[in-house]
Structure 1
Amino acid sequence: MTIKGFNKLKKELKKLKIFKRPQIINAISEARKLGDLKENAEYHAAREEQSFCESRIRCIEVKLSQAQVINIKKILYRNLVIFGSTITVLQICTDNVFTYTIVGDDEANFKKKSISIYSPLARGLIGKKRGDKVEIQTPSGLIKYIIIKIEYI
């Protein structure tokens, strides 16, 4: 996991524990005051939200406790594509240029240009150098890329 991903999870955990959890407890308390709990939709909705929140808290705590945080700036593998590096590639068949950061599964977000280390593209890029041609097998066929730039940010 990158430092950025680790800090994002810590921030979410803090938000859930300090803000969300007390809001839910308050909602359950208010719903109890409305009467019969068997037919109280507000109560059941608040309990369901509490269950989701507690589950998410446990999940984040486990991830944080087992995380191996990698500081890309301290790694000596320069000029190679590695976990955490940001890569700019040229798709040969379309002449389109794409920039991606290789991150862990929890951090991957294609809309934010972060791809999972386990994605076919990342697996094909790992260990390559600037200027290398890479062929990636995708469901739509073989796609060829040239690595234009590798950054460690």
Structure 2
Amino acid sequence: MTDTTTPVVWLTQEAHDRLAAELEQLSTTGRTDIATKIEAARSEGDLKENGGYHAAREEQAKQEARIRQLQQILRSARVGEAPPDDGVVEPGMVVEATVAGERMRFLVGSREVADGTDLDVYSDRSPLGAAIVGRSRGETTSYTAPNGKEITVEIHEAKPYQP
């Protein structure tokens, strides 16, 4: 069941499987490995001046944050439901557009989907993403950038992402 306050994340089956495997590894052997490092560093004595202990604790904090992030992504994921190839921009679409006079090609959606590609990724909740979601090829729109400038966007093409 998806939490209605959490936005849905579109994932390919490959991306979902990769993230689930990462979560499994971090939650099991990853946690065990960190605990072993912390225990080994703790046995070295004075914790105030123990760089290995502090590094291991920092690594543990980063790992736990990644575990929470993966759990959230996987909880809100829709798997394998590619958007229709109708030219309308929505999450999961690769968009070709002229943004502020520069032609760009990018994915609207989650970085997790495009992992391993050279595509830039813009969330559908980012200023650019929010301005173009629901728009069609050939349309021109604009949005206000964080610096206050009005940015013009002309959509040339929107196609479902194919890994």
TM-score range, shorter chain: 0.7 to 0.9
- Kindly indicate whether residue 107 of structure 2 is the aligned counterpart of residue 78 of structure 1: no
CA distance in structure 2 between the partners assigned to 1:30 and 1:119 by the alignment: 44
In structure 2, runs of 5+ residues without a counterpart are 1-8
Within 5 Å, which residues of 2 pair with 1:76-115? 76=84, 78-91=86-99, 94=101, 96-104=102-110, 112-115=119-122
Gaps of 5+ in 1: none
Deviation per CA, 1:72-103: give whole Å up to 9, x if none: 53x44622111211110124x63x21012111
Aligned partners of 1:124 and 1:136 also within 8 Å = yes
**Residue aligned with 2:77, SS:** coil
Asked whether the equivalents of residues 84 and 103 of structure 1 are also in contact (C-alpha less than 8 Å), the reply is yes
| Counterpart among 15, 20, 23 of residue 10 in structure 1 | 20
Could you say which structure has the higher helix fraction?
A: 1
* Counterpart contact for 2:96–2:158, Cα < 8 Å: yes
Tell which deviates more after alignment, 43-52 or 127-136. 43-52
Question: How many residues in Structure 1 have an aligned counterpart in Structure 2?
Answer: 148
Percent identity of paired positions between Structure 1 and Structure 2: 27
Q: CA RMSD in A?
A: 3.1
Distance in structure 1 (CA, Å) of the matches to 2:144 and 2:46: 59
Matched, 1:28 2:38: yes
Could you say which structure has the larger radius of gyration?
1
The one-letter code of the counterpart of 2:107 is T
TM-score, normalised via structure 1 length: 0.73
